[in-house]
Structures are given as C-alpha cells and as structure tokens.
C-alpha cells in the first residue's frame, strides 16, 4: 500500500542509511536517498524503488541542489556522519576533527534547516537523527567524535523544544556498536583494526537500527519517541564489552 509520504535518508549508500531506506520503502514510503557515492545509491534505488540523488552534506551547494528538487518531506533521517581516528586531545588531528564536525554537526544542521519548512508543511513531520552512545558520554581518545556527536544531539534536542506547537516530531536514536563500515572509516580502511572492534561480541547490525526508525515512523502522530539508546547485549557502555574471544 502506498502512503505517498516521502522519507529522506542521508548517508544512504551503505550501513544504517541503506538499511533504513530499505525498511521505509517496505513500509510504503516514497524514499529519497542521498550520499556522495552515486553508483552505490543507484543500485539501492533500483532495488527498492527509491530516488537516488547525490548529496554531500558538507557542501552548501550540494545540500541546496538536493533539497530543492524534493517536493514533499514527511520523514527526514539524519544518518550521514561518522568517526575518524582515535587520537588523544594532545595528539588531535585537526583535519579529522574538521571532518567529524562538518559531517555530523554542520551536515545535520544544513539538511535539517533546508528541509524544515517542508517537514512542517507536511502536517505530520518526523526528524530522526542517528547519534550514538558517544553523544551521551566521553571516552579517552574519542573527543573528536564524542564532541561532534554531543553537538549533533544537542542541535536535535534543541529543535524538539523550538518546534513545540508545530506538527513535527523528533526522535534521537543513540546506538552502541553496530557492525557497518563505521569502524573501517574510523581506522582509515584498516580492516584488522575495524574487525577488532566487533571481535568476540554479537554487535548490532544495520537492520536493527532501521527497524527502530520504522517503528518510530509508524507511531500515531501524537506519540513522540524522544530518545532511544540501543546497544548489543554484549555492550554496557562505550568501550565496555563482553568479549568471548
């Protein structure tokens, strides 16, 4: 059944974004997917019947071009973002920090700001922002990422109050360890280091988060799920894992 409601998913070429696009398409949304890697986007779009549009959330012109051609937005999923590096503050790499703030914080701000009028116009909008447990705590060698995730989350949580009285709901999903390309990006393509993050545990997978987005988007319009923290059973906080090997 088609609802003719439109969902926009950023960072949709892989991982949580791609799984969320799949789930929302299965729920009957017209899905618009954006990411930098257009070839992967187009493959996914063909598979699920979505519209693929190139999007670089760090680029003002790209965001303007992306948002201009979307006529209606009921659901926005702010998923684009990520981590780069595990340096201490003393050894901080300024370029890594810039990338994390540009993608997670300013990227979320650019897209959300541009689509806000359409979300309000829809009469029943929903903004889902994928933050992280890193938006709730600090940990050693993670300040570039934890500070960016805190800032992204505060942008999102502030909007919840600022939009009070407007027909837009806001849901923050803060996942722990989800096995995606996340760690590969963080460790600059080092497969061994990335695999070590999930060694000996049953991590979450992208579809676990996508199902939560789908659940949030299918609640009645008076129900606002404010914040959902989700970790594998094998995780009890940042860096605290039950590893069986």
Q: Helix (H, G, I), strand (E, B), or coil: what is residue 78? A: strand
Instruction: Pick between residue 10 and residue 132 the one whose CB is nearest to ligand 8X3.
Output: 132
In the complex, least distance from residue 177 CB atom to ligand 8X3, rounded to whole angstroms:
4
In the complex, least distance from residue 129 CB atom to ligand 8X3, rounded to whole angstroms:
13
Alpha helices in the chain (DSSP H): 15-26, 38-48, 60-68, 94-100, 107-121, 143-162, 182-186, 191-197, 206-217
Instruction: Pick between residue 70 and residue 128 the one whose CB is nearest to ligand 8X3.
Output: 128
User: 68, exposed or middle or buried, with CB in 10 Å at 0-12, 13-18, 19+?
Assistant: exposed
- Catalytic residues, by residue number, are 145
* Tokens of residue 23, six digits: 């789930």
**Nearest residue to 76 (alpha-carbon basis) of 43, 39, 36, 109:** 109
What letter would DSSP give residue 75?
Answer: E
Instruction: Pick between residue 51 and residue 227 the one whose CB is nearest to ligand 8X3.
Output: 227
* Tokens of residue 80, six digits: 């684009």
Instruction: Pick between residue 52 and residue 177 the one whose CB is nearest to ligand 8X3.
Output: 177
In the complex, least distance from residue 133 CB atom to ligand 8X3, rounded to whole angstroms:
5
Q: Which residues bind ligand 8X3 (CB under 6 A)?
A: 132-134, 176-177, 238
In the complex, least distance from residue 183 CB atom to ligand 8X3, rounded to whole angstroms:
7
Residue with the two structure tokens 């990422």:
145
CA distance 42 to 24: 17
């Amino acid at each position: 059944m088609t609802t003719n409601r439109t969902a926009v998913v950023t960072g949709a070429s892989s991982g949580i974004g791609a799984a969320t696009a799949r789930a929302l398409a299965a729920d009957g949304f017209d899905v618009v997917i954006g990411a930098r890697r257009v070839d992967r986007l187009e493959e996914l779009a063909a598979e699920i019947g979505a519209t693929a549009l190139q999007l670089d959330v760090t680029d003002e012109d790209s965001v303007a071009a992306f948002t201009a051609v979307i006529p209606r937005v009921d659901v926005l999923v702010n998923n684009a973002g990520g981590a780069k590096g595990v340096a201490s503050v003393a050894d901080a790499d300024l370029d890594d920090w810039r990338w994390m703030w540009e993608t997670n914080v300013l990227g979320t701000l650019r897209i959300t700001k541009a689509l806000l009028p359409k979300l309000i116009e829809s009469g029943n909008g929903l903004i889902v922002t994928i933050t992280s447990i890193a938006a709730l705590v600090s940990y050693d060698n993670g300040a570039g990422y934890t500070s960016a995730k805190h800032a992204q989350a505060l942008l999102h949580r502030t909007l919840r109050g600022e939009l009070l009285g407007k027909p837009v709901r806001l849901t923050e999903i803060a996942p722990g360890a989800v096995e995606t390309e996340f760690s590969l990006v963080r460790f600059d393509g080092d497969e061994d280091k990335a695999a070590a993050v999930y060694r000996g545990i049953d991590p979450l997978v992208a579809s676990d988060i996508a199902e939560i987005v789908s659940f949030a988007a299918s609640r009645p319009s008076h129900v606002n799920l404010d914040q959902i923290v989700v970790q594998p059973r094998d995780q009890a906080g940042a860096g605290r894992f039950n590893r069986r090997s």
